[in-house]
Amino acid sequence: MDKSIFTEKKHNPDESDLIVSLGGTLPLWQIVVEYVHLKYPDAKDEWNYPGEKYGWSFRIKDKKRAIIYLLPREKYFKVAFVFGQKATDIIMNSSISEAIKTELKEAKVYAEGRGIRIDVTNETGIQDIKELIDIKIAH
């Protein structure tokens, strides 16, 4: 089961929880959050608790939808996106890694689009994530 490391409903995670839990990946979390705000200054941050099965997640939203989800894990985190068809087509024709394109292509299609999750354990995928943020904000 892929679940947040923050599972206590009554305890809304904060910066100190992230420092302890994410370890060396905390600066990467901060880079992703800062990049979204740089590209979309009106974005709103919020912790979300959809239930015990998933635990706490962090999302950054524009006025109507989530731009990106950050899912804290032990010593790393995942980023998650949902892309509509237009954004999916742009990603498929971009320089984003083949691994991400394959995951997107194989993702189940829901009314709101295709969802993907990317593990962030080091800076390797950060450039792809920034490009995905740009596409998400634009579409």
- Mean pLDDT for back-to-back runs of 10 residues, the chain (139 residues): 82 92 96 98 95 92 94 96 97 97 95 95 96 97
> What residue segments make up the domains of the chain, in order of their start?
15-138
From first CA to last CA, the distance across the chain in angstroms is 31
Q: What is the pLDDT of residue 1?
A: 57
Q: Check residue 52 and give its pLDDT.
A: 85
List the one residue out of 65, 25, 32, 48 whose CA is nearest residue 134. Answer: 32
Q: How far apart are CA 75 and CA 77, in angstroms?
A: 7
Distance (Å, whole) CA 40 – CA 36: 6
Check residue 105 and report its DSSP letter.
H
The single residue listed with the structure tokens 């894990």 is 73
CA distance 103 to 81: 12
Give this prediction's pTM.
0.94
Angle formed by the axes of helices 85-92 and 126-138, nearest 10°: 140
Per-residue confidence (pLDDT) for residue 135, from 0 to 100: 97
- Side-by-side strand order, sheet with 109-110: 44-48, 57-61, 66-73, 76-83, 113-120, 109-110
Q: Give the fold, CATH level 3, of 15-138.
A: Aspartate Aminotransferase, domain 1 (3.90.1150)
* pLDDT value for 132: 98
